[in-house]
Amino acid sequence: MRRPGLTGSLAAALAALGIASFAPAQSGESKSPAASTIVTIAPSFETHSAGGAVLKLQATLLPGWHVNSHKPSEDYLIATVARLEPIAGVTFGEAHYPAGIQKKFGFSEAPLSVYEKTFAIEVPILWDASRPPAAISGKLEYQACNDTRCLAPASVAFRAEVAAAPIQKSDAASPLSMAPSRKAGGTAAAGASRDFGDMLERHGMLLVLLSIFAGGLALNLTPCVYPIIPLTVGFFGGQAGGSKGRQFGLAGLYVLGMATMYSALGVGAALSGRLFGSMLQNPWVLTAIAAALVTMALSMFGVWEIRMPTSLMNRAGARAGGAGAFGMGLFVGVVAAPCIGGFIVGLLAFVAARQDPFLGFLFFFTLSVGLGLPYLFLAAYSGRLARLPRAGEWMDGVKRVFGWVLLAMAAYFLRSVVPPPAGQWLLPAVLLIGAVAILVSRLGLRWPVRAGAAALLLGIAFFFVPHKLQGWQPYAAEAVGAGRPAVIDFSAEWCLPCLELEKKTFTDARVKEALGRRALLKADMTKMSSPETIALAEKYRILGVPTVIFVDSSGAERPELRLVGFEPPEKFLERLSQAP
């Protein structure tokens, strides 16, 4: 019985061999170029740091010629391979090859996976920062063909001078062990930072700044801040002697002091980079942050009252004159810290991961403007001051609601510290208990307000309830390239966009049906500082989570289909329609 494809494969092999051996003998009609001149290599360093780099080999082919991809369509075909010369003290990571294009040729019955025109190979490299190599050398092995002939296998050498490589930050993928932004990746705090990052990538800078401004404005309603607004503005009014211009000027200096303090904090976090990020992945640091939040929450419940040191309160207290107003603004964060600390830590984590001082200044200056706007408004329209609701029993109720919010924040920070499954259920449990407590207690708040607060906590709790997607399996290397197309979802427990992708996109009936014929693999990146996770991130060049990649039955990724961040079902279905 005839085996389909065997004759074609044999014919293609003989054709490649016969034409390759015959090509040099053709001297008159169509002489082929030397095989070693078909491909030229331009080596460079895409990312270069003291302890390593990503070597990029940009290959360019002569017009009309192609080479087999790194994963050829047939076993007998010669793959394109980059080989680096070993160097003592230097570690070469796994090379990242592009997916080949499928193209039909005259000597083959089926399309072949090839590279043509230009392609790039990237190799992560690590070395001792005190003894960097002078250069990285190697060669690219390939077999060049056109539509009618194949040349003998050849290789072309390359050499990249390490000292000449520019030191730069690149948005291109880089090894996890070299990327400063990764160091903040394995914690709930880093998860908060990635929420800002995901919003920045999906919606742009303007919306992020508006969100931060709105967040600063909302923080004025916290029980640590709201009661001091009328007192502060009233104090400025007393100094102004009836002059609205002077009152507004004092309020402006107060807000400027606030902006100076928070902006300096943002710039400091950006400059600290690695140090801040490494602290936020330490379980002891996370536990300490959670303990501080629990302490603040208990003070909201009236268990005790947190009193700042007298010296600090004196600095933050009322002082006359412009310098006094500016100084009060500088130290107002001391008074507000129990209520706004969680939001600040999440923003600090993102700024530290980006290591961009200007971004740190811009974000925290915007936050300060949001926090300071009520002071400016009430100073300009001092008659409105009397219309503010007076602090009373309702404020005690607000304090208790914020107490549960602080407890929920503590649970959020502990999610990656407490072992599963307890850690996965900790946050939903705290939110559920808080919702019930708010409903059954009067708290000095009206029923609609209590019901709204409880509903909000319940909604967040439902969002964080752990669940297992049907049909998805834990990532296993042997499942990739096992003769079946695969979808690999890189996610983490602390990543909110990951949960959003799971709950809104992967559970969609249309998406589930379209995914059905593929192997569905979940790669857990929660502990991004672990050697196993770093190795996985280097292998697939994972810059952040969520990342979804699509690989064909041979294990080759379709890089143009890679998804980073959340995507709604409709757009994901469009992407999926092009996937193998």
As given in the structure block, the two tokens for residue 113 are 């996976």
The answer to whether 270 and 355 have CB atoms below 8 angstroms apart is: yes
Q: What are the start and end residues of each CATH 2.60.40.1250 domain in the chain?
A: 6-161
pLDDT of residue 158: 93
Q: How deeply is 106 buried, as exposed, middle or buried, from its count of CB atoms within 10 A (0-12, 13-18, 19+)?
A: exposed
pLDDT at position 112 over 90: no
pLDDT at position 19 over 50: no
Amino acid letter for position 455:
A
- The more confidently predicted of residues 156 and 6 is 156
Q: How far apart are CA 41 and CA 67, in angstroms?
A: 14
- The more confidently predicted of residues 470 and 552 is 552
Among 313, 336, 318, which Cα is nearest to 258's? 336
Among 108, 36, 30, 114, which Cα is nearest to 71's? 114
The answer to whether 562 and 549 have CB atoms below 8 angstroms apart is: yes
Sheet with 112-116, edge to edge strand ranges: 101-103, 112-116, 66-68, 144-145
- Among the residue ranges 162-171, 293-302, 317-326, 418-427, the one predicted with the least confidence is 162-171
pLDDT at position 157 over 90: yes
Taking every pair of C-alpha atoms in the chain, what is the biggest distance, in angstroms? 106
Among 538, 542, 544, which Cα is nearest to 565's? 544
Q: Which CATH number fits domain 6-161: 3.50.50.60, 1.20.1290.10, 3.30.360.10, 2.60.40.1250?
A: 2.60.40.1250
Q: How far apart are CA 432 and CA 408, in angstroms?
A: 10
| Highest mean predicted confidence (pLDDT) among 167-171, 219-223, 541-545 | 541-545
Percent of the chain with pLDDT over 70: 69
pLDDT of residue 129: 67
Q: How deeply is 245 buried, as exposed, middle or buried, from its count of CB atoms within 10 A (0-12, 13-18, 19+)?
A: exposed
pLDDT at position 57 over 90: yes
22 confidence band (pLDDT: 50, 70, 90): very low
pLDDT of residue 5: 45
Among 353, 472, 348, 460, which Cα is nearest to 405's? 460
What is the distance in angstroms between the CA of the first residue and the CA of the last residue of the chain? Answer: 31
| Highest mean predicted confidence (pLDDT) among 72-86, 328-342, 443-457 | 72-86
383 confidence band (pLDDT: 50, 70, 90): low
pLDDT at position 188 over 50: no
Is the bond preceding 357 in cis, omega lying within 30 degrees of 0? Answer: no
The answer to whether 576 and 514 have CB atoms below 8 angstroms apart is: yes
Q: What are the start and end residues of each CATH 3.40.30.10 domain in the chain?
A: 472-576
Q: How far apart are CA 446 and CA 246, in angstroms?
A: 39
pLDDT at position 175 over 50: no
Q: How far apart are CA 203 and CA 195, in angstroms?
A: 12
Query: In CATH, which superfamily holds the domain spanning 472-576?
Result: Glutaredoxin (3.40.30.10)
pLDDT of residue 48: 59
pLDDT of residue 352: 66
pLDDT of residue 78: 86
- Among the residue ranges 362-366, 398-402, 478-482, the one predicted with the least confidence is 398-402
DSSP, residue by residue, 203-237: H-HHHHHHHHHHHHHHGGGSTTTTTHHHHHHHHHH
As given in the structure block, the two tokens for residue 347 are 């923003």
H-run or E-run covering 472: strand 472-474
- Among the residue ranges 11-20, 204-213, 215-224, 400-409, the one predicted with the least confidence is 11-20
The answer to whether 280 and 286 have CB atoms below 8 angstroms apart is: yes
> Stretch 410-415: mean pLDDT, rounded?
80
Residue with tokens 């249309």, as numbered in its chain: 510
Percent of the chain with pLDDT over 90: 11
H-run or E-run covering 41: strand 39-49
- Among the residue ranges 306-315, 373-382, 513-522, the one predicted with the least confidence is 306-315
- The more confidently predicted of residues 63 and 415 is 63
- The more confidently predicted of residues 208 and 50 is 208
Among 274, 175, 52, which Cα is nearest to 534's? 175
- Among the residue ranges 490-499, 507-516, 542-551, the one predicted with the least confidence is 490-499
12 confidence band (pLDDT: 50, 70, 90): very low
As given in the structure block, the two tokens for residue 240 are 């102004």
pLDDT of residue 344: 73
H-run or E-run covering 379: helix 357-380
Integer angstrom CA distances of residue 13 from 8, 143, 150, 314 = 9, 13, 11, 86
